[in-house]
């Protein structure tokens, strides 16, 4: 599956587990994930069974494009 995801400025996407690998490209805004800050044009890769949550920067909405194989909200 693939799609665009908009996360409101300052919002946190809940803790979840990946049911398959995931590749995310940041298009607009920024986010914090596992202590690392990502900005536009950066790619984030997650392995199957990885668990995390992320927080969008407070200044503007975060827009990403994501290719994934399902998640489970924890």
pTM over 0.85: yes
DSSP string for 17-51: EESS-EEEEEEES-EEETTEEE-TT-EEEE-TT-E
- By the 8 A CB rule, do 38 and 26 touch? yes
Mean of the pLDDT values across residues 37-47?
Answer: 98
pLDDT value, residue 56: 99
Number of domains comprising the chain: 1
Using one digit for the tens of pLDDT, what is the confidence trace for 44-66? 999 999 999 999 999 999 999 99
Tokens of 60: 């503007």
- By the 8 A CB rule, do 29 and 61 touch? yes
Domain that holds residue 25: 2-73
Please report, for the domain that includes residue 65, its CATH number. Answer: 2.60.120.10
């Amino acid at each position: 599956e693939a799609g665009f995801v908009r996360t409101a400025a300052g919002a946190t996407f809940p803790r979840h587990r990946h049911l398959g690998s995931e590749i995310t490209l940041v298009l607009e805004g920024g986010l914090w994930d596992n202590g690392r800050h990502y900005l536009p044009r950066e790619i984030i890769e997650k392995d199957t069974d990885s668990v995390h949550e992320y927080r969008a920067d407070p200044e503007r909405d975060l827009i990403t494009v994501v290719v994934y194989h399902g998640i489970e909200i924890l």
